[in-house]
Amino acid sequence: MTATTELVLRLLVELAPEIDPATIDLQRELREQVDLDSMDFLNLMEAVAAETGVEVPERDYPLVASIAALAAYTDART
């Protein structure tokens, strides 16, 4: 697990404390696995931006659907 992956997982659990990070499949679409709505997702994007400086535009949301994809997207831009 990369440092960015760990960071993203930590931010996710801060937003939704009921999530057990051990149960998350990093490669699978996040919103298929956990109960996140569009507000939660926006908050996650904002938390990632605050930590890494990478702002994901709305048109790129399909590219960051899994934790691994979000981490890779962020790493490629920092």
Partner 1 sequence: MSPRARRLAAAAGIDPASLAGSGPGGAVIGRDIPSGPVGERSAAALVTAAVPVDRSVRMRRAIGELMSRSWQEIPHYHLQTRAELSAALERLARANEAQPISRRVLPAALLLHAVARAAAHHPLVNGTYTGGAFHPADRVDLGVVVARRRRSARPDHRGRRPALAGRAHGALRDVVTRARRGRLRSADAAPASITVTNLGELGVDAVFGVIHPPQVALVGIGAVHEEPWAAGGMVAARPVVQLTLAGDHRVSDGLTGAAFLAEVVRNLQEDVAMNVEDAP
Per CB under 8 A, 56 contacts partner 1? yes
Q: Does 1 bind partner 1 (CB under 8 A)?
A: no
**Per CB under 8 A, 20 contacts partner 1:** no
Candidate ranges 3-11, 22-30, 48-56, 68-76; the one touching partner 1 (CB under 8 A): 48-56
CA 18 – CA 21 distance, rounded (Å): 9
- Pairwise CA distance, residues 70 & 53, whole Å: 13
Q: How far is the CB of 3 from partner 1 (least distance, A)?
A: 22
Alpha-helix residue ranges (DSSP H) falling in the chain: 3-15, 30-33, 38-52, 67-75
